[in-house]
Amino acid sequence: MYLCQDNNRAQAHTLIKKRKKNIMARPIKETPTLRGKEAAAFEQKISHPQPVTREAVDAARSAYNNVMSIAKFTF
């Protein structure tokens, strides 16, 4: 649907196409490689994760149940 007069349809169509192109997702940039102290700190954190508290698990489960109760899709 065009919002302008017949003689401006081509211009409106071009404008709409340009706006749609800007809505597209951008490509994901390459992930930088960790080196030195940053790599060692990352490896330490991955090797020894902090335990999750029971309260955090219950809060996450409650939030999930709330979202799923209003969701209009199924898995």
Compute the distance between CA of residue 5 and CA of residue 11 in angstroms, rounded to an integer: 10
Q: Is residue 11 part of a domain?
A: yes
Which run of H or E residues covers position 49?
A: none
Q: pLDDT tens across 3-22, in order?
A: 445 556 777 767 666 665 55
Residue 75 belongs to a domain: no
1 within some domain: no
Looking at the structure of the chain, the number of domains it has is 1
* pTM assigned to the model: 0.42
Q: What is the pLDDT of residue 4?
A: 46
The residue segments making up the domain with residue 46 are 6-26+34-70
pLDDT at residue 2, as a whole number: 44
pLDDT in tens, 37-68: 999 999 999 999 999 999 999 999 999 999 99
Which residue would you say has higher pLDDT here, 36 or 13?
36
Could you report how far apart the first and last alpha carbons of the chain are, in Å?
36
